[in-house]
Amino acid sequence: MKVYKDWSPSPRTIMTPGPVEVDPRVLRTMSYPILGQFDPEFTSLMNETMAMLRELFMTENEWAFPVDGTSRSGIEAVLVGLIEPGDKVLVPIYGRFGYLLTEIAQRCGGEVVALEKEWGAVFRPAEIADAIRLHRPSLVALVHGETSTGRLQPLEGIGHVCRETGALLVVDAVATVGGVRLATDELLIDAVIGGTQKCLSVPAGMAPITYNKRAEAKLQRRKKIERGLLPEGVSADAPATLRPIQSNYLDIGQLQDYWSPARLNHHTEATSMLYALREGLRLVLEEGLEARYERHRRHEAALVAGIEAMGLTLYGDPSCKMPVVTCVEIPAGLDGESVRAMLLEQFGIEIASSFGPLKGKIWRIGTMGYSCSKRNVLLTLGALEAALIRHGCELEAGRGVQAALDVYGV
Ligand SMILES: *Cc1c(COP(=O)(O)O)cnc(C)c1O
């Protein structure tokens, strides 16, 4: 008989753009016993989680709840709910996750108008505003923090133009929520998708979303169609595009009923993940949103100072650098994967590679959530220096760590 041995993970310092390290307080809640999903105790956990998500997203929206599944389940739920076949969808793309929005929007039957920007840069909000006025889409889908290139897209003013032209604004804030300020209501964003395994420091497996009345109106219209009722102002010979939401699992209309006081049965809630998310949110709110953003900026500053002191070059336009992801150019002639392997095998530290046109060209170092600490930044810089020297790079040992210590005022 084959014996499958007991297993537990090797100790790791995770400095990638997700999944990142999880606070022991969150891990502990995941070992709590299961509650039935209609148990009043569980219901109050669900309600508290919604209240905390509203604070996280900086919104007064009635609806803020997690979709069960990884972050893209939230993206897919929002897009499949808000895009009707034939709808025009504008997607400004400046990295890999813009392509993901495009692909999902097309699968929902959306007619996508893609705006493309070279990788390493972002759009000026005015460029997006002009494109909205020109193309008159019914929905605009945009990434806030593009993890693939480490860029942060400014969103100011885009929401106003969407209101003016009647478009819905959907923002993928998977990589930024809880680490970089994103004021949903202030920016007039109609739907936001967050992630758990990035700046919230909760395991992957849920996608917190929020949406406002404008978005809900579209969902309600489709729900009436589902019930065979025609919404007001739509005649019986309505175009064939008026269809119910294609997905059952990701039907936000049904998910909303499940999270509403009616608690209409849909799927079985992911009990342990909800415990984890609630505790993760409690940690975020205990720290305070502004203090948390500030912590991410402080450790970013130390990391960047260390990287530059080593003589390495940061990738991309510095004016739109994402504070929680630092992209570093791999020096010419160096095998970036071999350096990454040495970091993992000798130091237990994981940094990320990259995809598409940047494959083999940059490393990506995350400073997110619980992983974003002085200890982790100093260890990563020290280990990277050592690994680079072992790979024959000429650099003065200790400079990176010293520069970071300077930033920390040690
Ligand atoms: C990580 C990420 C996603 C996808 O998240 P999954 O949890 O892998 O589904 C989507 N958008 C952005 C910006 C991300 O960083």
Ligand 1 binding pocket mutation candidate from 73, 146, 174, 327 (most atoms within 8 A of CB) = 174
DSSP-derived secondary structure for 133-159:
HHH--SEEEEESEETTTTEE---TTHH
Closest residue by CA, ligand 1 atom 12: 174
Ligand 1 binding pocket mutation candidate from 71, 97, 152 (most atoms within 8 A of CB) = 71
Q: How many CA atoms lie within 13 A of 256 on its CB side?
A: 21
pLDDT for 31 = 98
- Give me the long-range contacts of 393-399 (CB less than 8 A, separation at least 24): 393/331, 393/334, 395/310, 395/311, 399/309, 399/310
Closest residue by CA, ligand 1 atom 6: 71
The reply to whether 258 and 298 lie within a common domain is: no
The 10s digit of each residue's pLDDT in 177-223 is 999 999 999 999 999 999 999 999 999 999 999 999 999 999 988 87
The candidate with the shortest Cα–Cα distance to 23, out of 276, 327, 339, 255, is 276
The candidate with the shortest Cα–Cα distance to 32, out of 45, 19, 20, is 45
If DSSP codes are grouped into helix, strand and coil, which group holds residue 119?
A: coil
User: Ligand 1 center to residue 178 CA distance, Å?
Assistant: 14
As for how many domains the chain has, the answer is: 2
- Residue 4, in any domain of the structure: no
Cα–Cα dist 54/303, whole Å:
31
Residues 6+ apart with CB under 8 A from 301: 407
pLDDT for 229 = 64
Residue 137: phi and psi, rounded to 5, are: -75, 160
Q: Write the CATH number for 136.
A: 3.40.640.10
Ligand 1 binding pocket mutation candidate from 16, 20, 68, 72 (most atoms within 8 A of CB) = 72
Sheet with 88-93, strands from edge to edge, namely 63-68, 206-211, 191-194, 168-173, 139-143, 88-93, 111-116
User: Ligand 1 center to residue 147 CA distance, Å?
Assistant: 8
- Residue 78, in any domain of the structure: yes
- Residue 156, in any domain of the structure: yes
Question: Which of ligand 1's atoms lies nearest the C-alpha of 17?
Answer: 15
Residue 158 contacts residue 105 (beta carbons within 8 Å): no
The reply to whether 272 and 344 lie within a common domain is: no
Provide mean pLDDT across the span 35-43. 95
Residue 305 contacts residue 403 (beta carbons within 8 Å): yes
User: Ligand 1 center to residue 321 CA distance, Å?
Assistant: 18
The reply to whether 319 and 238 lie within a common domain is: no
- Residue 246, in any domain of the structure: yes
Neighbours of 24 (CB within 10 A): 9
Residue 204: burial class (beta carbons within 10 Å; 0-12, 13-18, 19+): middle
Cα–Cα dist 260/165, whole Å:
31
The candidate with the shortest Cα–Cα distance to 111, out of 132, 91, 130, 134, is 91
What is the band of 26 on the pLDDT scale with cuts at 50, 70, 90?
very high
Average pLDDT, the chain: 95
pLDDT for 236 = 54
pLDDT for 391 = 98
Q: Write the CATH number for 352.
A: 3.90.1150.10
The reply to whether 247 and 359 lie within a common domain is: no
Binding site feature residues for substrate? 364
Q: Which two tokens stand for residue 274?
A: 């909800």
- Judged against a pLDDT cut of 60, whether residue 15 lies above it is answered with yes
pLDDT for 16 = 98
**Domain interval for residue 310:** 289-407
Which whole-number Å values give the CA distances from 339 to 8, 9, 217, in the listed order? Answer: 25, 22, 51
The reply to whether 239 and 308 lie within a common domain is: no
- Residue 10, in any domain of the structure: no
- Judged against a pLDDT cut of 60, whether residue 234 lies above it is answered with no
**What's the whole-model pTM score?**
0.96
Pairing state between β 151-152 and 145-146: antiparallel
User: Ligand 1 center to residue 201 CA distance, Å?
Assistant: 14
| SS3 assignment for 89-118 | EEEEECCHHHHHHHHHHHHCCCEEEEEECC
Question: Which of ligand 1's atoms lies nearest the C-alpha of 72?
Answer: 9
Domain stop point among 284, 318, 347: 284
The reply to whether 110 and 178 lie within a common domain is: yes
Domain stop point among 268, 284, 300: 284
The reply to whether 235 and 131 lie within a common domain is: yes
Ligand 1 binding pocket mutation candidate from 97, 198, 199 (most atoms within 8 A of CB) = 97
Residue 27 contacts residue 208 (beta carbons within 8 Å): no
Where are the strands (E) in 110-256, listed by range?
111-116, 139-143, 145-146, 151-152, 168-173, 191-194, 206-211
The reply to whether 181 and 123 lie within a common domain is: yes
- Residue 18, in any domain of the structure: no
Q: Which residues line ligand 1 (CB under 6 A)?
A: 18, 70-72, 97, 143, 145, 147, 172, 174-175, 195, 204
Residues in the chain: 410
What is the band of 129 on the pLDDT scale with cuts at 50, 70, 90?
very high
User: Ligand 1 center to residue 401 CA distance, Å?
Assistant: 31
Question: Which of ligand 1's atoms lies nearest the C-alpha of 148?
Answer: 15
The reply to whether 238 and 128 lie within a common domain is: yes
User: Ligand 1 center to residue 146 CA distance, Å?
Assistant: 9
The reply to whether 280 and 295 lie within a common domain is: no
User: Ligand 1 center to residue 99 CA distance, Å?
Assistant: 12
User: Ligand 1 center to residue 351 CA distance, Å?
Assistant: 17
Which whole-number Å values give the CA distances from 394 to 102, 205, 242, 313, 362, in the listed order? Answer: 43, 43, 64, 14, 19
CA angle (397, 402, 404) in 5-degree steps: 125
- Residue 196, in any domain of the structure: yes
